[in-house]
Structure 1
């Protein structure tokens, strides 16, 4: 078992760190709001630190799951950053959904200190984190991935390396592009079924068994019909992810017309006050357009 630090006690990081502790690793956590890290340590029997550097001291692995590129840089760099506390030969594993640019940047900075780096964004949402059933998309040197994969396994149902640093983030972008189109399609289908006089839940249950099936349909259709969105992956975060995807596509000369359109639909949901709603709330926009009161 390894000595591990986990930076970021959000809805994902909190249970992910718990799985590491349950697997037998020695875990120290850090969070910008220290009270959350202290609560985790009390609940799981681990330790907490008041800075990323202190959390990372003497650790073989440092995991992070924070908000965006800037949040990531804030826990990695500087006198109190994780790199300042890590030993040569240790490995930094970043589970944040961020840009491929920041992944390559940190990999380069880490290498200057003899520290390994794996960008490893995840898919599966809060439920996947709580149940230890995340899909983990990795980039980095093969040796660093091989060393980190058994530790990541504590909360993963699948963990695959796709290439060098940044490849994990690029794969996560593809994941988010898929989700955007799928959720919009489901929203339109369920709204159509309702307006046509069908039982939308019954329609969803049948469609889920055929070629139109998806994780989103199986897990979100009923709550979409019921108008319940106070859970799951927030619209604000999805817009952050789609923004990264669209900008990266522009850089590599790829057109993402559907993703760009759905991103604007999510902007409409934000205007409805749904920034913290689950991403399946796209259906609310259609309801408003058809004259319904929310």
Structure 2
């Protein structure tokens, strides 16, 4: 159990945020929570979480964490008319830790505005999904003032026990996370391509992915994604549109720093096509809320294949 008496504020109860805050509560921390849809946070009251009505109720905590979808959302919850510091004025906690995946420019702008309010900003995006968090295998990367990071490091390790890498000052952690998610997009695309190739030539998907995961090319990702690709289980971990956003962030950095990224560019266009094909579904909006691994259906169509679940009990590697 935590011995710290520091009070934590938490913004964001999405697939990631809920599970991360849950770890802090189970570790004995006092956590006050705000979420746009209050009902999503209320189950955590059973663990001692306090759900607040207004973002400004979090202004007096010692450390404020946030994890939301985009840079504009971070700005809104911090400095919006109903933010922690309404209209960018008033009080902010001394240390603010953001775990979202946002652009370098947005992060730098937020850092400067927080500095003007007397707050230190730690960028701390994470690697994994809700299943990874529950399995205790989440990891993180952090940048910002090192002294501020060291004050929150133990907290971060509660929800990211696989380790948190401090990479330096400023927005360096944002660059690491964008690069990470670019690789995520490229790897899932290639994994789908080779799985479909083997499958079309007669190899069961379960057998092929078991071989790949046990090989030198295997990883935590190939293992925990195998059940989805074998059984066509598109339970959402990350949406195609969020992945597209991150590929665009990576390509933007590549253009700015004159680093060619042709593989990323090709993956981005394939993903854009998948998103466009959603219009062929009965409920396009609902389809785009499914997991990004649904890209396999688009690639199967292009391959002249009709996919069916193999109905296999496939281990995730997270047990």
- Say whether the fold is shared (TM-score over 0.5): yes
Answer whether contact 1:14 1:40 (CA < 8 A) is retained. Answer: no
Distance 2:123 2:265 in 1: 25
Structure 1, unmatched stretches of 5+, are none
Aligned with 2:256 (options 240, 251, 257): 251
How many residues are treated as equivalent by the alignment? 290
Contact preservation (8 Å) 1:239, 1:266: yes
Residue of structure 1 in register with 2:76 after alignment:
74
Q: Deviations over 1:66-120 (max 9, x none)?
A: 1101111001114532244424xx2000001111112111211222222111011
Q: Which moved more, 1:158-167 or 1:272-281?
A: 272-281
Question: Quick check: 2:124–2:141 contact (8 Å CA) kept in 1?
Answer: yes
Match of 2:310? Answer: none
Other-structure match for 2:231: 226
Structure 1 residue 211: deviation in Å?
A: 2.3
In 1: Cα distance, 2:37 partner to 2:96 partner: 21
Q: Classify 1:95/1:280 alpha carbon distance in 2 versus 1 (closer, same or farther; 3 Å).
A: same
Alignment of 1:287 with 2:297, yes or no, is no
- Following superposition of structure 1 onto structure 2, how do residues 185-200 of structure 1 map, counting pairs within 5 Å? 185-200=190-205
Residues 194-238 of structure 1 deviation map (CA, whole Å, 9 limit, x = unaligned): 111112211221222222212232121232132221232111211
Give the CA deviation at 1:293: 4.5
Q: Report matched runs for 1:135-174 at 5 Å.
A: 135-156=139-160, 157-174=162-179
TM-score, with length taken from structure 1: 0.92
Structure 2 residue aligned with 1:47: 50
Tell me the TM-score normalized by structure 2.
0.86
Question: Does the CA contact (< 8 Å) of 1:126 and 1:233 recur in 2?
Answer: no
Quote the Cα distance in structure 2 between the aligned partners of 1:262 and 1:153: 33
Moved more, 272-281 or 182-191: 272-281
After superposition, residues 76-95 of structure 1 pair within 5 angstroms as 76-78=78-80, 80-83=82-85, 84-87=90-93, 90-95=94-99
Partner of 2:13, secondary structure, is coil
- In structure 2, list runs of 5 or more residues that go unmatched: 279-286, 308-319
CA distance in 2, matches of 1:78, 1:283: 39
